[in-house]
Amino acid sequence: MSSSVNIGSAQKMRIVVVGNGMVGHHFVDQLIQENAADNDTQLEVVVLSAEPRLAYDRVHLSEYFSGKTADELALTTPEYYQEHNIQFELSAKVVNINKLAKSVTTESGDVFEYDKLVLSTGSYPFVPPIPGNDQPHCLVYRTIEDLEDISASAAVSKVGVVVGGGLLGLEAANALKEAGLQTHVVEFAPQLMAVQVDGGGGRLLRSKIEALGVQVHTQKATQSIEAGDTCRYKMCFADGEVLETDMILFSAGIRPSDALAREFDLEIGERGGIVIDDQCLTSDKDIYAIGECALWNNFIYGLVAPGYTMARAAASHIVGGDLTFQGADMSTKLKLMGVEVGSIGDAHARTEGALCYTYENQPEEVYKKIVVDAEGKKLLGSVLIGDTSDYDTLLQYALNDIELPEKPESLILPAGAGDAPGLGADALPDTATICSCHNVSKGDIIEAVDQGACDVGSVKGCTKAATGCGGCAALLKSVVDSELEKRGVEVKKDICEHFAYSRQELFHLVKVGSIKSFDELVEKHGQGLGCEICKPAVGSIMASVWNDFILKPDHVSLQDTNDTYLGNMQKDGTYSIIPRIPGGEITPEKLIVIGEVGRDYKLYTKITGGQRIDLFGAKVEQLPEIWEKLINAGFETGHAYAKSLRTVKSCVGSTWCRYGVQDSVGQAIDLENRYKGLRAPHKIKFAVSGCTRECAEAQSKDIGVIATENGWNLYVCGNGGMKPRHADLFATDLDDETLVKYIDRVLMFYVRTADRLQRTSVWMENLEGGLEYLKQVVIEDSLGLGEELEAQMQNVVDTYQCEWKTAIENEQSRKRFRRFVNSDKSDLNIVFVEERDQIRPATEEEKKKLQAQSIEDADQLATEVV
Mapped onto helix, strand or coil, the DSSP state of residue 393 is helix
Strand partners, 254: 125
More confident residue, 60 or 342: 342
Burial readout 335-359 (b: 16 or more C-beta within 10 A, e: otherwise): ebbbbbbbbbbbbbbebeeeebbeb
Angstrom CA distances, 796 to 302, 400, 538, 610, 688, stand at: 51, 51, 17, 23, 22
Query: Residue 129's CB: how many other CB atoms inside 10 A?
Result: 6
Half-sphere exposure of 320 (CA within 13 A, CB side): 9
Angstrom CA distances, 131 to 182, 219, 294, stand at: 24, 19, 30
Structure pTM? 0.59
| Segment among 336-350, 472-486, 678-692 with least mean pLDDT | 472-486
The residue among 257, 238, 251, 299 whose CA lies nearest residue 126 is 251
Report whether CATH 3.30.390.30 matches the domain 329-423: yes
CA distance 175 to 183: 10
The pLDDT of 659-663, averaged and rounded, is: 94
Q: Is a pLDDT exceeding 60 seen at residue 668?
A: yes
The residue among 113, 116, 153 whose CA lies nearest residue 27 is 116
Q: Is a pLDDT exceeding 50 seen at residue 174?
A: yes
Q: Is a pLDDT exceeding 70 seen at residue 761?
A: yes
The pLDDT of 838-847, averaged and rounded, is: 81
* Enclosing H/E stretch for 163: strand 159-163
| Backbone φ, ψ for residue 266 (5° rounding) | -90, 150
- For residue 865, the model assigns a pLDDT of 47
Mapped onto helix, strand or coil, the DSSP state of residue 750 is helix
Q: Is a pLDDT exceeding 80 seen at residue 184?
A: yes
Yes or no: say if 826 and 619 are a contact pair by the CB < 8 Å rule. Answer: yes
**DSSP string for residues in 514-529:** T--SHHHHHHHHB-SS
- For residue 120, the model assigns a pLDDT of 97
Q: What is the CATH number of domain 5-124+256-318?
A: 3.50.50.60
CATH fold group of domain 127-252: FAD/NAD(P)-binding domain (3.50.50)
More confident residue, 778 or 396: 778
- For residue 455, the model assigns a pLDDT of 78
* Average pLDDT value over all residues in the chain: 88
The pLDDT of 394-421, averaged and rounded, is: 78
* Enclosing H/E stretch for 631: helix 623-632
Per-residue pLDDT tens digits for 603-634: 999 998 889 999 999 988 899 999 999 999 99
- For residue 835, the model assigns a pLDDT of 86
Q: What is the CATH number of domain 644-801?
A: 3.30.413.10
Per-residue pLDDT tens digits for 228-237: 999 999 999 9
The pLDDT of 554-578, averaged and rounded, is: 79
- For residue 2, the model assigns a pLDDT of 39
Angstrom CA distances, 594 to 607, 633, 725, stand at: 11, 9, 34
- For residue 652, the model assigns a pLDDT of 93
Environment class of residue 391 by beta-carbon count within 10 Å: exposed (0-12), middle (13-18) or buried (19+)?
Answer: buried
Yes or no: say if 427 and 463 are a contact pair by the CB < 8 Å rule. Answer: no
Q: Is a pLDDT exceeding 90 seen at residue 340?
A: no
- Share of residues in the chain with pLDDT > 70 (%): 92
Query: Residue 278's CB: how many other CB atoms inside 10 A?
Result: 14
**DSSP string for residues in 237-275:** ETTS-EEEESEEEE-S-EEE--HHHHHTT--B-TTS-EE
The pLDDT of 658-665, averaged and rounded, is: 94
The pLDDT of 693-710, averaged and rounded, is: 95
* pLDDT-based confidence at residue 392 (cuts at 50, 70, 90): confident
One-letter amino acid of 479: V
Mapped onto helix, strand or coil, the DSSP state of residue 630 is helix
| Backbone φ, ψ for residue 112 (5° rounding) | -130, 120
- For residue 456, the model assigns a pLDDT of 79
CATH fold group of domain 429-487: Arc Repressor Mutant, subunit A (1.10.10)
| Backbone φ, ψ for residue 345 (5° rounding) | 50, -130
Q: Is a pLDDT exceeding 50 seen at residue 517?
A: yes
The pLDDT of 708-719, averaged and rounded, is: 95
Per-residue pLDDT tens digits for 52-76: 999 999 888 877 876 778 888 899 9
CA distance 169 to 158: 19
Yes or no: say if 261 and 273 are a contact pair by the CB < 8 Å rule. Answer: no
CA distance 486 to 804: 51
- For residue 5, the model assigns a pLDDT of 41
CA distance 233 to 138: 10
